Amino acid sequence: MADNRVVQGRMVTPKRLAELIEGESVMDAEPIEDADRDCPDCGENVLKVGYMPGVTSFVTGYKCQECDWAEIEDDD
């Protein structure tokens, strides 16, 4: 399974993708998955990554592969 994916023309690791969504550094990230949804802005594929922005929290982030659209879902 390839861990790295191309997002907006750049190869990113799960942690780097989480950082793009979060806007700052994150502690840890799970492997990138395809989300079962299309980008509401451009209709392209949306990726999903679970990550820990801090020691006590875990969230799921979504990011369009082709544009700036991103969303964070709190799992709590």
Distances (CA, A) of 74 to 12, 18, 34, 41: 22, 14, 18, 21
| Phi, psi angles (nearest 5°) of residue 43 | 80, 5
Q: Do residues 53 and 72 touch, judged by C-beta distance below 8 A?
A: no
CB of 66 to Zn ion, least distance (A): 5
Decide: is 41 part of the binding site for Zn ion (CB under 5 A): yes
- 12, 17, 39, 70: which one binds Zn ion (CB under 5 A): 39
Only segment of 6-14, 17-25, 40-48, 53-61 that touches Zn ion (CB under 5 A): 40-48
Decide: is 20 part of the binding site for Zn ion (CB under 5 A): no
Decide: is 46 part of the binding site for Zn ion (CB under 5 A): no
